[in-house]
């Protein structure tokens, strides 16, 4: 594993990996009666790598079903390669304990991350990648997938599949297009087997080996997991207002402006404020970037942005909009974020506002661990978006309860300070010393620009210092940068000081 | 005997003091490895300051800041130990009172709500009002005044900070004694009805300031006029005491008192009376709060009306109301231009040795010139960041 050298330090080498060619007999049926049958047909063996997408987020039912079937078959030492894992997948803990799973490559949100943080659970350190990083790793052959399992809200018997139609649409399932094309075997699992042909063909028949119909693949109500409400907290609204005003004061807030927010409460509020400001200024944005939400869809309908580029729906309004509006463009994570490509969409962003668990005085950002050293969150698109956006703003409160968010050194470096321009807190705006140009514009606009160290000190005066984890030598996870280098590792917590 | 103070709401803690002989300190919190040591430190320091070596305390934390922990423990201990516990006298840094500062917005915060108090200083209001009266239930008055005292000391307020105490015969005197240890810029007296009410408060302040070794006259008074009597006595109230720097109008109570239906019309007399009284006494006037937080248009309309009538500012019950209020009470670009023209015309007239000042063929008489000069000064203060930045 190569160490991180810089956000844009390395270049792609060689060509892409290739899956085995296959010549299918004329019009042979791909339908199998059950997941168990698919596992057999794929000749899944001990130690294999199996992959999944997370388009149903905390409402997903496929990962658990497939793992249960693998366990029943007596399979062991599998390498789990999901795009992300949620609290709904807590059963993974049982499978790790029983030996069905011994390695995980992918983000772990919640209980699985907490479990892995205990150390000694997996045969190798978990590997976390961003959306773009995972795509790159598959194309480069860094991770070889034996079987890709693709949950599809609608599929035809020949394997064409989509996420935007069917009984339980979840929005784009384009996270899996790379899995489908590079895995040795690709299995589509659907709860709505429809007559041929199903479209749009997010997953294409030519990539698919088998199709299985099941009763349940996921709960679309749960795709909005966690964070889809506009915040009401006065502190967080203040952060959102300052963020919007900072963006407006920058030199990027002109016709053709593009932006991305996450789906957190602060981001949604920023999106709303920006939308209103664009309406007032008569600015039409070139695009808003997903995850798609009702808020973004509203901006599109109001004519304030010309398009939405979207790889993941965070609510049902977004699902519906993707289905019927050509200006709501479905993009896969490769187009969105792949470092080893001829140019990804995040590079066209003017502004992005993202969250963090911690930030440090060098503007490094942590989104993976908390100050207690627990690995609880995935990277998502954080690294990709922060690298690409002309102005990257991190929106954080100075304190969460008694825990300071601004620290001397982040517990884990997810995204390096060199691509972070601004940190917006309720107590003021800190600008990376690399961006004096922005600092000047913000000051001229009357925004409260302050040194980050000063904001940190002000917050620290309100709480006693917190205890610090003492880390041992055991590495429980590696954090990859977009280019496959390792930017940081997470060690096991051995004690406290 | 047991006293249980605080709550398990986010940002608060619960402190239980018992008369059981200690010393005993039990601390429960999430993320104990991160937080328990710090909580113990603050608890022990608080108990030492209270001078109760044998106290028995149970502390259950829900993410409370240090000053909340200290306040809850102090309240619980004093409830159980009475005079054996020494009230905490915090160290306070307070900005010097500036009579001419802009007071466009007056942001209320409920005095016993740690979550809403945290960060009350960041919203760019001109004034913050920590409330011990209507927003605090009867059973929580002691907890509120001690919490407000700690807030006054611990929070780095750039704003002017006031405390609305209870009526003097309903706990206000106790409020005063406690919160003056936190040295607010001033005290808001609810239901101010006569000069006598203000004088009474003034005497109390004299006594407590002397007792606490505070500079005499340092603590200012804001009279909240919200009854028919108060409105009718506005002129006397405004002139009652040198400490009085502002009258704030309370429309809700007033409307009820006179039996009117609330409208611009039914409040016109009261508003005009207060404005005139304040102008005559050369103090500031602040309009009533606007209760519908989600109605931005209604707020802006009412704020503009208040400005038209001559108010200097308006109350706010939610930070999101501040920008609209500041917009209504800050001089517009046109107003500033006009005032500048008048001031320049006056300067020109003086250099030329002319007796009268004229601009655009009109005579500018003294009051107009004075008002223009005041507006220029006010605009300058705002431009230099002298008010809050919402």
- The pLDDT, as a whole number, for residue A350 is 98
Give residue B362's pLDDT.
84
Q: Is B16 domain-assigned? A: yes
For A477-492, what is the mean pLDDT?
A: 96
The reply to whether B275 and B141 lie within a common domain is: yes
Check pLDDT > 90 for residue B364: no
In a domain, B173, yes or no: yes
Taking the C-alpha atoms of residue A48 and residue A454, their distance in angstroms, rounded to an integer, is: 51
Q: How far A271 CA lies from chain B's nearest CA (Å)?
A: 17
Q: Do B21 and B148 share a domain, yes or no?
A: no
Model confidence pLDDT, tens digit, residues A416-475? 999 999 999 999 999 999 999 999 999 999 999 999 999 999 999 999 999 999 999 999
Residue count of chain A, please give it.
497
- What is the chain B residue with the closest CA to A461? B154
* Residue B307 vs residue A265, higher pLDDT: B307
Residue B317 and residue B342 in one domain = no
Write the pLDDT tens digit of every residue in B279-322.
Answer: 999 999 999 999 999 999 999 999 999 999 999 999 999 999 99
By DSSP bridging, strand A403-404 and strand A399-400 are: antiparallel
Of A72-81, A150-159, A165-174, A214-223, give the lowest mean pLDDT range. Answer: A214-223
A–B interface: beta-carbon pairs under 8 A: 71
Q: Does B156 touch chain A (CB under 8 A)?
A: yes
Nearest to B65 among A234, A402, A469 (CB): A402
DSSP-derived secondary structure letter, A60: B
Contact between A204 and A180 (Cβ < 8 Å): yes
Q: Indicate if B309 and B323 belong to the same structural domain.
A: yes
Q: How far is CA A217 from CA A167, A188, A220, in A?
A: 10, 11, 9
Beta carbons of A401 and B389 less than 8 Å apart: no
Closest residue in chain B to residue A373, using alpha carbons only: B34
Please tell me which residue of chain A has the smallest CA distance to B151.
Answer: A462
How much of chain A exceeds pLDDT 70, in percent?
99
Q: What is the pLDDT of residues A320-375, one digit of tens each?
A: 999 999 999 999 999 999 999 999 999 999 999 999 999 999 999 999 999 999 98
Report B:30-59 residues touching A (Cβ under 8 A): 31, 33-39, 41-42
Q: Are residues A399 and B61, on separate chains, in Cβ contact within 8 Å?
A: no
- Chain A environment of B37 (Cβ under 8 Å): 464, 467
Of the candidates B23, B51, B84, which is a domain's last residue?
B84
At the topology level of CATH, where does A31-223 sit? Glutaconate Coenzyme A-transferase (3.40.1080)
Is B356 found in the same domain as B340?
A: yes
Q: Is residue B94 part of a domain?
A: no
Work out the pLDDT band at B386, boundaries 50, 70, 90.
Answer: low
- Give the pLDDT of residue A70: 98
A226 pLDDT more than 60: no
For residue B355, pLDDT beyond 80: no
Q: Are residues B126 and B163 in the same domain?
A: yes
What is the structure's pLDDT at A100? Answer: 97
CB–CB contact A372 B66 (8 Å): no
Q: How far apart (Å, rounded) are the C-alpha atoms in residues A182 and A141?
A: 9
Based on the fold, state whether residues B113 and B222 are members of the same structural domain: yes
The nearest alpha carbon in chain A to B156 belongs to A458
Chain B interface mutation, best of A114, A245, A371, A401, highest count of B Cβ atoms under 10 Å: A401
CB-nearest partner of B34 from A403, A446, A448: A403
Cα distances (angstroms) measured from residue A129 to each of A301, A337, A481, A483: 34, 12, 7, 10
Q: So what's the pLDDT on residue B350?
A: 85
Distance in angstroms (rounded) separating the CA atoms of residues A137 and B299: 55
Q: Please answer whether residues A92 and A67 qualify as being in contact, where contact means their C-beta atoms are separated by less than 8 angstroms.
A: yes
Burial (CB count <10 Å: 0-12, 13-18, 19+), residue A422: buried
Q: How far apart are CA A409 and CA B35, in angstroms?
A: 19
* Assembly ipTM: 0.90
| Interval A362-399: pLDDT, tens | 999 999 999 999 988 999 999 999 999 999 999 999 99
For residues B346 and B305, the model is more confident at B305
Which residues on chain B are in Cβ contact (under 8 Å) with A464?
37-39, 41-42, 66
Averaged confidence pLDDT in chain B = 94
Is B111 part of a structural domain of the chain? yes
**Chain B, nearest residue to A457 by Cα:** B156
User: Are B316 and B366 contained in the same domain?
Assistant: no
Least CB-CB distance to B41: which of A238, A458, A464?
A464
- Could you list the residue range(s) of the whole structural domain that residue B76 is in? 2-84
pLDDT number for residue B274: 98
What percent of chain A stands above pLDDT 90? 86
Q: How many domains does chain B have?
A: 3
Q: Do A467 and B64 touch (CB under 8 A)?
A: no
CATH of A234-460 among 3.40.50.300, 1.10.520.20, 3.60.20.10, 3.40.1080.10: 3.40.1080.10
Chain B residues near residue A463 by CB distance under 8 angstroms: 38, 65-66
The pLDDT value recorded for residue A151 is: 96
Flag the least confident range among A112-121, A152-161, B116-125. A112-121
Maximal CA-CA distance, chain B? 85
- Percent of chain B whose pLDDT exceeds 70: 98
Q: How confident is the model at residue B384 (pLDDT cuts 50, 70, 90)?
A: confident
| B123 and B61 both lie in a single domain | no
- Confirm or reject contact between B123 and chain A (CB < 8 A): yes
∠ Cα B206 B208 B213 (to 5°): 95
Contact B156 A466 (CB under 8 A): no
Out of A427, A463, A467, whose CB is closest to B65?
A463
From chain A, pick out residues whose CB is under 8 angstroms from the CB of B33: 372, 467, 469, 496
- Residue numbers in B near A426 (CB within 8 A): 119, 122
pTM of the full structure: 0.93
For residues A196-214, average pLDDT? 97
Give the sign of the dihedral formed by CA A2, CA A7, CA A11, CA A15: positive
pLDDT reported for residue B146: 98
pLDDT band at A223 (very low <50, low <70, confident <90, very high): confident
Task: Choose the closest CB to A238 out of B10, B116, B123.
Answer: B123
Residue B380: pLDDT band (50, 70, 90) is confident
In this predicted structure, the answer to whether residue A133 has a pLDDT above a threshold of 70 is yes
In chain B, which among 90-119 make CB contacts under 8 A with chain A?
116, 118-119
User: Helix or strand or coil: residue A407?
Assistant: strand
Which residues in A lie closer than 8 A to residue B35 (C-beta atoms)? 402-403, 466-467
Average pLDDT score over residue span A155-178: 93
Enclosing H/E stretch for B256: helix B251-258
DSSP one-letter string for B155-179: S---SEEEEEPPPGGGTHHHHHHHH
Note whether B37 contacts A467, CB cutoff 8 Å: yes
Q: What is the mean pLDDT of residues B258-270?
A: 97
CB contacts of A496 in chain B (<8 Å) are: 33
What average pLDDT does the structure give for chain A? Answer: 94
Residue B63 has its nearest CB partner, among A234, A401, A458, at A401
Q: Does one domain contain both B371 and B262?
A: no
Residues whose CB falls within 8 Å of the CB of residue A243, separated by 6 or more in sequence, listed in order: A266, A270, A353, A393, A395, A424
- DSSP at A58: G
Confidence band (pLDDT; 50, 70, 90) for A263? confident
Instruction: Indicate whether B89 belongs to any domain.
Output: no
How would DSSP label each residue in A421-469?
-EEEETTEEEE-GGGHHHHHHHHHTT--B--HHHHHHHHHTTSPPPP-E
- Cα B281 to its chain centre, rounded Å, is 21
Closest C-alpha among A357, A274, A261, A270 to residue A314: A261
B384 touches chain A (CB under 8 A): no
Is residue B337 included in any domain, yes or no? yes
- Identify the band that residue A224 occupies on the pLDDT scale cut at 50, 70 and 90: low
The mean per-residue pLDDT over the stretch A147-170 comes to 95
Do the domain assignments include residue B388? Answer: no
Minimum distance, in Å, between the CA of residue A289 and any CA atom of chain B: 28
C-alpha closest to that of B245 among B53, B106, B69: B106
Q: Which residues of B touch A235 (CB under 8 A)?
A: 118-119, 122
Judge whether B100 lies within some domain.
no
User: Quick one: closest CA in A to B66, which residue?
Assistant: A463
Instruction: Give the chain A residue nearest B63 (alpha carbons).
Output: A401
Angstrom distance (rounded) from CA B177 to CA B173 = 6
Q: Which residues of B touch A403 (CB under 8 A)?
A: 31, 34-35
Closest partner CB to A402 (pick from B35, B119, B320): B35
Q: State residue A489's pLDDT score.
A: 96
H/E run at residue B61: strand B56-61
* Residues from chain A contacting residue B10 (CB–CB below 8 Å): 401
Q: Domain ranges for chain A, please list them.
A: 31-223, 234-460
3-state SS class at A393: strand
Identify the CATH number of the domain in which residue B265 sits. 3.20.20.60
Q: What is the pLDDT of residue B389?
A: 63
> Is the Cβ of B64 closer than 8 Å to some Cβ of chain A?
yes
CB-based contact B66 A464, cutoff 8 Å: yes
Give residues with Cβ within 8 angstroms of B307, minimum separation 6.
B328, B329
Q: Are B159 and B276 part of one and the same domain? A: yes
């Amino acid at each position: 594993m190569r160490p991180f050298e810089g956000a844009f330090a390395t270049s792609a080498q060689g060509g892409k990996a290739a899956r085995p060619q296959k010549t299918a007999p004329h019009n042979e049926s791909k339908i199998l009666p059950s997941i168990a049958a698919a596992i057999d047909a794929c000749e899944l063996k001990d130690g294999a790598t199996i992959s999944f997408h997370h388009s149903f987020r905390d409402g997903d039912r496929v990962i658990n079903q497939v793992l249960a079937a693998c366990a029943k078959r007596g399979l062991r030492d599998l390498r789990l390669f999901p795009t992300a894992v949620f609290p709904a997948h807590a059963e993974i803990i049982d499978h790790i304990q029983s030996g069905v799973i011994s390695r995980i490559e992918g983000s772990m949100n919640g209980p699985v991350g907490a479990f892995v943080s205990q150390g000694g659970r997996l045969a190798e350190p978990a590997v976390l990648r961003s959306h773009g990083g995972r795509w790159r790793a598959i194309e480069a052959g860094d991770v070889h997938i034996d079987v890709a399992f693709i949950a599809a809200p609608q599929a035809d018997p020949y394997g064409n599949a989509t996420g935007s139609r069917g009984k339980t649409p979840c929005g784009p399932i384009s996270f899996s297009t790379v899995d489908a094309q590079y895995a040795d075997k690709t299995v589509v699992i659907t709860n709505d087997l429809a007559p041929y042909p199903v479209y749009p063909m997010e997953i294409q028949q030519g990539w698919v080996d088998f199709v299985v119909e099941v009763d349940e693949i996921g709960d679309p109500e749960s795709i909005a997991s966690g964070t889809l409400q506009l915040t009401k907290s006065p502190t967080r609204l203040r952060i959102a207002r300052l963020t919007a005003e900072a963006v407006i004061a920058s030199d990027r807030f002109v016709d053709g402006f593009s932006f991305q927010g996450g789906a957190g409460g602060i981001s949604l509020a920023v999106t709303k404020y920006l939308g209103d400001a664009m309406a007032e200024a008569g600015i039409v944005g070139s695009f808003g970037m997903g995850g798609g939400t009702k808020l973004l869809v509203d901006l599109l309908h109001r004519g304030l942005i010309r398009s939405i580029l979207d790889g993941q729906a965070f609510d049902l309004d977004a699902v519906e909009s993707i289905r019927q509006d050509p200006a709501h463009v479905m993009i896969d994570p490769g187009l969105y974020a792949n470092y080893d490509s001829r140019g990804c969409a995040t590079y066209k962003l003017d502004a992005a506002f993202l969250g963090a668990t911690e930030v440090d005085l060098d503007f490094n950002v942590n989104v993976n661990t908390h100050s207690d050293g627990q690995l609880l969150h995935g990277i998502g698109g954080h690294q990709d978006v922060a690298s690409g956006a002309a102005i990257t703003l991190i929106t954080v409160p100075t304190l969460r309860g008694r825990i300071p968010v601004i620290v001397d050194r982040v517990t884990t470096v997810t995204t390096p300070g060199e691509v972070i321009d601004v940190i917006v807190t309720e107590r003021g705006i800190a600008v990376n010393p690399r961006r004096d140009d922005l600092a000047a514009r913000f000051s001229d606009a009357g925004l409260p620009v302050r040194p980050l160290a000063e904001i940190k000190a002000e917050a620290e005066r309100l709480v006693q210092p917190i205890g610090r984890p003492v880390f041992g030598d055991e590495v429980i996870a590696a954090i990859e940068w977009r280019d496959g280098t390792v930017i940081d590792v997470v060690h096991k917590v051995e004690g406290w000081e | 005997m047991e006293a249980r103070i605080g709550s398990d709401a986010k940002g608060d803690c619960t402190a239980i003091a018992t008369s059981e002989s200690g010393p005993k300190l039990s601390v429960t919190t999430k993320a104990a490895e991160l937080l328990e040591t710090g909580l113990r430190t603050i608890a022990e320091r608080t108990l030492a300051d209270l001078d109760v070596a044998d106290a028995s305390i149970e502390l259950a934390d829900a993410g409370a800041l240090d000053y909340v922990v200290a306040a809850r423990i102090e309240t619980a201990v004093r409830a159980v130990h009475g005079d054996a516990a020494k009230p905490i006298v915090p160290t306070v840094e307070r900005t010097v009172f500036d009579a001419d500062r802009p007071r466009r917005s007056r942001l209320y915060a409920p005095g016993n709500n740690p979550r809403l108090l945290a960060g009350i200083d960041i919203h760019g209001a001109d004034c913050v009002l920590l409330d011990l009266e209507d927003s605090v239930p009867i059973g929580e008055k002691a907890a509120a005044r001690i919490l407000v005292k700690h807030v006054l000391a611990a929070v780095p307020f750039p704003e002017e900070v006031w405390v609305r105490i209870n009526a003097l015969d309903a706990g206000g005197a106790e409020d005063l004694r406690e919160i003056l240890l936190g040295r607010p810029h001033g005290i808001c007296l609810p239901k101010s009805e006569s000069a006598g009410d203000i004088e009474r408060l003034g005497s109390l302040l004299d006594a407590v300031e002397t007792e606490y070794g505070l500079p005499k006259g340092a603590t200012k008074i804001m009279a909240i006029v919200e009854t028919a009597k108060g409105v009718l006595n506005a002129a006397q109230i405004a002139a009652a005491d040198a400490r009085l720097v502002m009258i704030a109008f309370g429309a809700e109570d007033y409307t009820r008192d006179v039996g009117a239906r609330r409208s611009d019309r039914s409040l016109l007399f009261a508003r005009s009376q207060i404005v005139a009284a304040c102008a005559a006494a050369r103090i500031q006037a602040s309009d009533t709060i606007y209760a519908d937080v989600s109605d931005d248009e209604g707020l802006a309309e009412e704020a503009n009306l208040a400005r038209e009538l001559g108010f200097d500012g308006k109350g706010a019950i939610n930070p999101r109301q501040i920008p609209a209020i500041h917009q209504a009470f800050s001089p517009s670009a046109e107003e500033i231009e006009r005032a500048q023209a008048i001031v320049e015309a006056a300067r020109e007239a003086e250099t030329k040795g002319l007796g009268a000042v004229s601009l655009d063929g009109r005579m500018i008489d003294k009051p107009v010139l004075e008002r223009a000069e005041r507006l220029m000064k006010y605009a300058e203060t705002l431009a230099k960041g002298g008010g809050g930045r919402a």
